[in-house]
Structure 1
């Protein structure tokens, strides 16, 4: 039977809830284990915990994860994780613990009475090496756990996060497509409704990607569960991939839904489906990354909407969603050519209906550079830890 020790600083409130939460989590996973509380009272032991009031989990005499300092292998958790009746249920830290326990080198005996082994790895040293490898994997359990939380976050309220943008896109189609389309027959030889639909699809991708990443990061700061991510064995790159990945997935789902909606409304073709996918994905990565940056920089929820209003909205309307750049006077045309959204819309429109204002492949290259720079900036900001405390 596994032995799970919870080391806690004596001043930590709620450690009894921590004990019960661990027992409940293990029971749900079908893991037979014995949970013990170990009080830490001396200055030397308390210093080894790094943070007062932060319990450490130890399984079968071995701490779960190596610390970044290398002074001592430990795993720190905020006491407030256990302040709710549900404890570790549906909490990313709890999911990490459960996953780590499932990968523990010593498990409960199987039906034959022999201890379970993992992929034929025997012994404490072999198990420790597997644990270290698991902790350092780029797409390992810590990353997948945080990404899963990001995805579940918007799927739980899918009517708000997925259905609502589709209704907004449908209204744009009715007002601009059918309303103006009756007056503007064609643009660059393409029916006006088909001309604006690629831009409307990309607009929904941008809005969903940015909104998901920015509000998720801000909520994590405001509710203080960003602390549990920061003290986990995740690297800044893993954090960026998880937060941006959640925004990208939501943006692509909304974009795909809008595209499906556009087929019966306007018979929108997809002349170059691979290019369509690449342009949509690069756009989603770029604006999900900017959303993470906005979430980090914001100290109030108003700041997120303010940045959206003064930066994102003007860029959108200057991005050629509703018109061709050739229709503008020279000063506004220069502003449009300086807008990164313009190149995203132009490449996406070329992939969908085969028309563009500029050469599509340089536009796609510019979009790719913009996405890479935005993601790099996001990773660097998370690495520095700037304003990650609310």
Structure 2
């Protein structure tokens, strides 16, 4: 096998990536349709009840404010769950050690799991936007940047999902991390409201909440404005993409959750 700059065995990498994508596409009702319906219900309920609510961004309705937040939230949950569920499932089936025998490089293994989760996250995020066209129309300020924002968000949380899958050893712990850590951070990251309007110390959480810049990048791409400085959000997001991957790669290369089960 000829070594490349990144890929040692391109066919093997694509095979593993294809497996990760087809694994969730076999049950689209659970992995794609369910979160999509949840986001539509959020849109219908919150949008219906609060559509006249004022937003601290001039000229922006609450419904338009809500759409990019829901798309980002859908991408976060979907991207996290895909690699986390895949790795923990292999632990449950006692086949996780087989990863060591795959004829592909460690980088290819890591990227296959991350790209699989990233694809699912972007898919759910884009479909969420498409589903909201009925409520708010199809206008979007920067379409390419919108997809790029969802891609960066999905990459970050696919990496986090891979970390969770390696470190955690059962589905209960994974669901606990999702419910107790990621979900509150998502809600406090500006999905449903402006973080600056939170009372007291809650408004300061944005400085340590990694989801806050991700939501605002998508919101800027959708409506052309956002809370805070877009250049700062892009910089922080770039750091998150790089650091999340490096941490996931370090844990994977050390064999945590793979060599000892």
Q: Is this a same-fold pair by TM over 0.5?
A: yes
Q: Aligned-pair distance for 1:280?
A: 0.9
Structure 1 CA distance for aligned equivalents of residues 104 and 76 of structure 2: 27
Contact between 1:268 and 1:352, CA under 8 Å: does it hold in 2?
A: no
Contact 2:9 2:103 in 1 (8 A): no
| Residue correspondence of structure 1 range 24-39 to structure 2 within 5 A | none
Deviations 1:184-223 (A, max 9, x none): 1444121101101100010000010001111011112221
Match of 1:386 in 2: 256
> Post-superposition shift, 1:248?
0.5
Secondary structure of the residue aligned to 1:339 is: coil
CA shift at 1:226, angstroms? 2.3
Structure 2 partner of 1:355: 225
For the aligned residue pairs, the C-alpha RMSD in angstroms reads: 1.6
Out of 242, 258, 261, which is 2:128 matched to? 258
2:30 to 127, 148, 160: 160
- 2:189 paired residue among 294, 310, 319: 319
SS in 2 for 1:304: helix
CA distance in 2, matches of 1:290, 1:261: 27
Task: Give the TM-score taking structure 2 as reference length.
Answer: 0.94
Matches within 5 A, 1:108-257: 131-133=1-3, 137-138=7-8, 140-182=10-52, 184-189=53-58, 190-257=60-127
Structure (1 or 2) with the greater strand fraction: 1
Aligned residues of 1:347 and 1:361 also touching (Cα < 8 A): no
- Aligned-partner Cα distance in 2 for 1:169–1:232: 38
Q: Which has the higher helix share?
A: 2
1:335 matched residue in structure 2: 205
| Equivalent in the alignment of 2:215 | 345
Structure (1 or 2) with the larger CA radius of gyration: 1
- Runs (5+) with no aligned partner, structure 2: none
Superposition TM-score, scaled by structure 1 size: 0.64
Q: Matches of 2:102 and 2:163 in 1, distance apart? A: 21
Residue of 172, 197, 205 corresponding to 1:302: 172
Whether the aligned pair in 1 keeps the contact of 2:126 and 2:147 (CA below 8 Å) is no
1:293 aligns with 2:163: yes
Unmatched 5+ stretches in structure 1: 1-130
Q: Cα distance 1:348–1:139, how it changes in 2: closer, same or farther (>3 A)? A: farther
Give the direction of change, closer, same or farther, for the CA distance of 1:284–1:227 in structure 2 (3 Å limit): same
Contact 2:217 2:233 (C-alpha < 8 Å) held by counterparts: yes
CA offset at residue 233 of structure 1? 2.3
Task: Give yes or no for contact 2:9–2:104 (8 Å, CA) kept in 1.
Answer: no
After TM superposition, the runs of 4+ consecutive aligned structure 1 residues lying more than 6 A away are none
Deviation at 1:137, TM superposition (A): 3.1
How far is 1:224 from its partner?
Answer: 2.4
